[in-house]
Amino acid sequence: MTAPRPLVTRFAPSPTGFLHLGHAHSALAGWRRARTGGGRFLLRIEDIDATRCRPEFTDAIFEDLTWLGLDWDGPVRVQSRHMADYRITLDALAARGLLYPCFCSRGDIAREIAGSAAAPHGPDGPLYPGTCRRLTEAKRRARLAAGEPHALRLDMGRALAGLAGPLDFEEAGQGRLHCDPARFGDVVLARKEVPASYHLCVTHDDARDGVTLVTRGVDLLPATDLHRLLQHLMGWPAPAYAHHALLTDASGRRLAKRDGAPTLRDLRRQGASPAQVRATAGWPD
Ligand code: GLU
């Protein structure tokens, strides 16, 4: 039997706005588990999308978490500084014939879907109809040689064909949950404008950092099926997961910046103490 790996949790926000109570709930979930279980708590900034992320929000994350009374272990990983790492993972998958370039625009895909009888949907929206998977090798090479912008998609059929059996993962309080990554179809692993994707970077970094327990919102539960597949393809260890319920407002709607959920700095400005905010975020001292 292999020895259990030491407990490592993490909080991995995207700096697209100021943190609100939902983020505090999530951060505290990982931090508490680590601090009460003798483990390590890591902070990671998921900022690969330069069009949506801003450095001032990253600075605000450090400030708000510190104000809230959270500390983290070791250096913060800032994903945008490690694009070469994600490239290496993409190259490894490509070398095994598991990726293909996709030249389609959103409009191309929408037209193709509109013209087809069946348009299956996955957790991230309508499934890609596979247009560029069917390109001849000569056409593909010519378009690459012409420098046509392209995304990289996982060939889901090939990825699944190599599996010895079904995949599953450990979910806190629920035991082992069965995975169905096929629901994602030929998912994008490197975008046209960002040469990586959330799914790729999050699984890479959790493996790299030895994360053993992923605490995050239940909205990301479906994505775990895909993350488990990527871990399997790359030979990375599978962490356990604890997906938590999302905090909602008085009318039952999920807290979101765009709906005016108060940010931690709003609450602070209004005179709330860190202990009060921790309690409102669901973690009374
Ligand atoms: N960066 C993601 C977000 O802000 C969270 C990713 C994760 O916890 O796996 O929603």
pLDDT in tens, the chain (285 residues): 567 889 999 999 999 999 999 999 999 999 999 999 999 999 999 999 999 999 999 999 999 999 999 999 999 999 999 999 999 999 999 999 999 999 999 999 999 998 887 778 888 888 999 999 999 999 999 999 999 999 999 999 999 998 999 999 999 999 999 999 999 999 999 999 999 999 999 999 999 999 999 999 999 999 999 999 999 999 999 999 999 999 888 778 887 776 778 899 999 999 999 999 999 999 988
**Ligand 1 mean position to 79 CA, how many Å?**
12
What the block records as the tokens of 193 is 């404008």
Q: Check pocket membership of 29 for ligand 1, CB cut-off 6 A.
A: no
Q: Which of 53, 57, 78, 198 to mutate to test the pocket of ligand 1 (most atoms within 8 A of CB)?
A: 198
Residue 10 Cα: closest atom of ligand 1: 8
Tokens in use for 108? 């191309």
Ligand 1 pocket, mutate which of 28, 46, 201 (most atoms under 8 A from CB): 46
Pair of tokens at residue 41 = 């708590």
Which ligand 1 atom is nearest residue 219's CA? 10
Q: Which amino acid is at 255?
A: L
Following DSSP, what letter does each residue of 19-76 receive, concatenated? -BHHHHHHHHHHHHHHHHTT-EEEEEE----TTT--HHHHHHHHHHHHHHT---SSPP
Cα–Cα distance measured from residue 108 to residue 267, given in angstroms and rounded to the nearest whole number: 45
Give the DSSP H or E segment for 227. Answer: helix 221-234
33 lines ligand 1 (CB under 6 A): no
- The pLDDT, as a whole number, for residue 1 is 59
Q: Hey, which of 8, 9, 14, 76 would you mutate to test ligand 1's pocket, going by the most ligand atoms within 8 Å of its Cβ? A: 14
Q: How far apart are CA 20 and CA 264, in angstroms?
A: 5
**Is residue 98 helix, strand or coil?**
coil
Query: Is residue 216 within 6 Å of ligand 1 at its C-beta?
Result: yes
Q: Find out whether the beta carbon of 7 lies less than 6 Å from any atom of ligand 1.
A: no
Distance in angstroms (rounded) separating the CA atoms of residues 35 and 206: 18
User: What's at 56, amino acid-wise?
Assistant: E
At residue 249, the pLDDT reads: 81
Residue 247 Cα distances to 79, 205, 232, angstroms: 26, 26, 32
